[in-house]
């Protein structure tokens, strides 16, 4: 090949874009953040929170919003300081440089996706049975539907799903419509003189539990409904002017979802007694039925199923791709990075995560799955809040958002407290999280041992 032709090809190759295209403006970013937060948490766990705390069910959601807002300021400082695709693992690696800690954070995020998707599967099954007007004890049917739903998600995952932000606009509208229906029905019922608004100030704690311990335990569970905002940092490299846009859009998105959650909680407990709201896995269906008996319940059930389906698919996609990425980085066994020949999807990682999800669906109830998700992410958020302080020793040249020092400090303390036993968290949360992380550590240890043996063999040769 002539030298001139080769040099032209080299220039053409070097001219290829090396960064993602910045196409996301403020509107799309806001819809992405709101859509990512809305979903399984409020649709499925409002009743569980009411069972813990009583009529003041709105308070744990409000406190969870405050903790999320504190942690969001740390994410904002990091994403505007390092405006590239990344996340908690990237920030942990930059701050501490400890490979094993980075692995634990990454695997914890992956496991939180599995527990979140498993809770979505259970919520899907419960709402489908409600839409089909299934009466009586249908525990086995619900389990079969949840497992079948997860199997369907895995098949879609194997085929390959290109998630785009514009598609998220439609999903967000559907998810948001269901919550606005609940708020509207609650407001209409109150205007008609129906419902019991006085319940919103009542604390009905189980047993001899104090109001403080009940609220903290309920807040630890309600935090599950606020997660998702941290995913938006992965869109930084595709956002127009992220240093300017991200702070106001993320905070706006969190405020919107926080207000919606508090209003949904107030409407729910006004129309349905906390004890009744805490029974079963379709609390918002009970609210719609109580406040608007003529409303087509099957329509609302399908809206709920659509919302939780989106949550399950996104989380299983994330979990399998994280395993694939860690395998490519030689932090997990090499087979997890194997791809289907034509679809180019990580089939071993997908099968592995699906089997883990099957175990979670069969072993844990909805409350435990939601609690485990919040536990894992609270631990991750505590580390991120510390990382932002550590990384202040490494300034960058461009201007970026800077959180007041008190906010990440307070965020780290509150996240650690809500993740700890003093918050009244059930033991099942720790058992499930412990077993999941143990699986990850065993996989990591296998890779470490194999790499040591290979290195020793090469040194001998």
Distances (CA, A) of 180 to 56, 174, 263: 20, 10, 9
Distance from C-alpha of 428 to C-alpha of 417, rounded to nearest angstrom: 17
- The total of structural domains in the chain comes to 1
Question: Which token pair is 132?
Answer: 């089909």
The 10s digit of each residue's pLDDT in 229-259 is 777 676 665 667 777 788 888 899 899 999 9
The 10s digit of each residue's pLDDT in 404-455 is 999 999 999 999 999 998 888 888 999 999 999 999 899 888 888 887 888 7
Secondary structure (DSSP) of 208-274: T--HHHHHHHHHHHHGGGGTTGGGGGGGGGGBSSHHHHHHHHHHHHHHHHHHHHHHHHHHHHHHS-H
**Nearest 5°: phi and psi at 343?**
-80, -25
Q: Please calculate the CA angle 84-381-337 and round it to the nearest 5 degrees.
A: 60
pLDDT band, very low/low/confident/very high, at 140 (cuts 50, 70, 90): confident
What's the average model confidence in pLDDT over 177-191?
91
pLDDT on residue 245: 81
Residue 375 belongs to some domain of the structure: yes
Distance from C-alpha of 340 to C-alpha of 346, rounded to nearest angstrom: 7
Closest CA to 244 of 96, 25, 39: 25
Closest CA to 382 of 408, 344, 407: 408
- For residue 126, pLDDT over 80 is answered with yes
What's the average model confidence in pLDDT over 112-133?
85
Residue 13 belongs to some domain of the structure: no
pLDDT on residue 15: 43
The 10s digit of each residue's pLDDT in 44-72 is 788 888 888 988 999 999 999 999 999 99
Secondary structure (DSSP) of 233-248: GGGGGGBSSHHHHHHH
Residue 3 belongs to some domain of the structure: no
pLDDT on residue 166: 53
Greater confidence (131 vs 271) lies with 271
CB 425 within 8 A of CB 223: no
- For residue 147, pLDDT over 70 is answered with yes
pLDDT on residue 238: 61
Closest CA to 105 of 386, 391, 352, 317: 386
- For residue 399, pLDDT over 80 is answered with yes
Residue 366 belongs to some domain of the structure: yes
Question: Which token pair is 301?
Answer: 């059930």
CB 131 within 8 A of CB 301: yes
Distances (CA, A) of 282 to 55, 71, 85, 140: 18, 30, 36, 17
pLDDT on residue 23: 57
Neighbouring-strand partners of residue 114: none
Distance from C-alpha of 305 to C-alpha of 40, rounded to nearest angstrom: 9
pLDDT on residue 163: 44
Non-local (6+) Cβ contacts of 310 within 8 A are 35, 39, 171, 175
Distance from C-alpha of 402 to C-alpha of 423, rounded to nearest angstrom: 30
pLDDT band, very low/low/confident/very high, at 36 (cuts 50, 70, 90): confident
What's the average model confidence in pLDDT over 155-181?
71
Kindly report the pTM of this predicted structure.
0.82
Residue 6 belongs to some domain of the structure: no
Residue 7 belongs to some domain of the structure: no
Residue 310 belongs to some domain of the structure: yes
pLDDT on residue 5: 46
What's the chain's average pLDDT? 82
The 10s digit of each residue's pLDDT in 163-174 is 444 555 676 788
What's the average model confidence in pLDDT over 143-172?
74
Secondary structure (DSSP) of 63-131: HHHHHHHHHHHHHHHHHHHS-SS--HHHHHHHHH--HHHHHHHHHHHHHHHHHHHHHHHHHHHHHHHHH
Range of 30-34, 101-105, 128-132, 261-265 with top mean pLDDT: 261-265
**Residue 441, domain extent:** 23-460
Taking CB atoms within 8 Å and a gap of at least 24, the contacts of 244-251 are 245/25, 245/26, 245/29, 246/29, 246/76, 246/79, 246/80, 246/83, 246/401, 247/76, 247/80, 247/401, 248/26, 249/26, 249/29, 249/30, 249/33, 250/33, 250/72, 250/75, 250/76, 251/69, 251/72, 251/76
- For residue 17, pLDDT over 60 is answered with no
pLDDT band, very low/low/confident/very high, at 358 (cuts 50, 70, 90): very high
Cβ neighbours of 223 (radius 10 Å): 30
What's the average model confidence in pLDDT over 6-27?
51
Neighbouring-strand partners of residue 239: 24
Tokens 């405050």 locate to 66
Question: Which token pair is 334?
Answer: 């090499």
Residue 10 belongs to some domain of the structure: no
- For residue 349, pLDDT over 70 is answered with yes
pLDDT on residue 12: 42
Distance from C-alpha of 43 to C-alpha of 261, rounded to nearest angstrom: 10
pLDDT band, very low/low/confident/very high, at 38 (cuts 50, 70, 90): confident
- Lowest-pLDDT range of 55-69, 214-228, 371-385: 214-228
Q: What is the DSSP letter of 328?
A: H
Neighbouring-strand partners of residue 24: 239
pLDDT on residue 14: 43
Q: Where residue 199 sits, what CATH number does that domain have? A: 1.20.1740.10
């Amino acid at each position: 090949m002539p030298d001139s032709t080769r040099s032209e090809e080299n220039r053409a190759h070097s001219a290829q874009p090396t960064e993602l295209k910045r196409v996301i403006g403020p509107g799309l970013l806001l819809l992405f953040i709101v859509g990512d937060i809305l979903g399984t948490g409020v649709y499925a766990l409002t009743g569980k929170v009411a069972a813990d705390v009583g009529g003041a069910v709105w308070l744990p959601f409000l406190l969870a919003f405050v903790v999320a807002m504190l942690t969001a300021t740390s994410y904002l400082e990091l994403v505007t300081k390092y405006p590239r695709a990344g996340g908690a693992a990237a920030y942990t690696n930059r701050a501490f440089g400890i490979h094993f800690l980075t692995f634990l954070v990454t695997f914890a995020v992956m496991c939180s996706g599995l527990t979140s998707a498993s809770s979505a599967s259970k919520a899907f099954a419960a709402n489908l049975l409600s839409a089909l007007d299934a009466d009586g004890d249908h525990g086995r049917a619900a389990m079969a539907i949840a497992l079948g739903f997860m199997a369907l998600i895995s098949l879609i995952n194997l085929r390959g799903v290109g998630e785009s932000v514009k598609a998220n606009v439609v999903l967000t509208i559907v998810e948001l419509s269901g919550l606005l229906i609940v708020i509207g029905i609650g407001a209409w019922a109150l205007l008609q003189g129906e419902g019991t608004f006085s319940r919103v100030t009542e604390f009905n704690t189980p047993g001899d539990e104090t109001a403080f311990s009940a609220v903290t335990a309920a807040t630890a569970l309600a935090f599950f409904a606020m997660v998702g905002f941290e995913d938006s940092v992965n869109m930084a490299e595709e956002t127009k002017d992220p240093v300017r846009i991200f702070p106001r859009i993320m905070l706006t998105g969190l405020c919107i979802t926080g207000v919606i959650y508090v209003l949904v909680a107030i409407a729910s407990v006004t129309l349905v007694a906390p004890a009744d709201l805490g029974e079963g896995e379709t609390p918002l269906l009970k609210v719609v039925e109580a406040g608007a008996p003529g409303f087509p319940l099957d329509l609302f059930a399908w809206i709920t199923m659509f919302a939780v389906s989106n949550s399950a698919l996104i989380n299983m996609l994330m979990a399998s791709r994280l395993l694939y990425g860690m395998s490519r980085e030689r932090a997990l066994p090499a087979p997890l990075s194997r791809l289907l020949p034509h679809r180019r999807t990580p089939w071993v990682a997908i099968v592995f995560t699906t089997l883990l999800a099957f175990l979670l669906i069969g072993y844990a109830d909805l409350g435990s799955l939601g609690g485990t998700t919040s536990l894992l992410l609270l631990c991750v958020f505590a580390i991120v809040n510390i990382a932002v302080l550590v990384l202040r020793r490494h300034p960058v040249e461009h201007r970026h958002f800077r959180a007041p020092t008190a906010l990440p400090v307070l965020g780290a303390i509150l996240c650690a407290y809500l993740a700890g036993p003093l918050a009244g968290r059930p033991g099942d949360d720790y058992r499930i999280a412990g077993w999941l992380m143990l699986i990850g550590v065993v996989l990591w240890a296998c890779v470490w041992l194999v790499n040591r043996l290979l290195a020793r063999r090469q040194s001998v040769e």
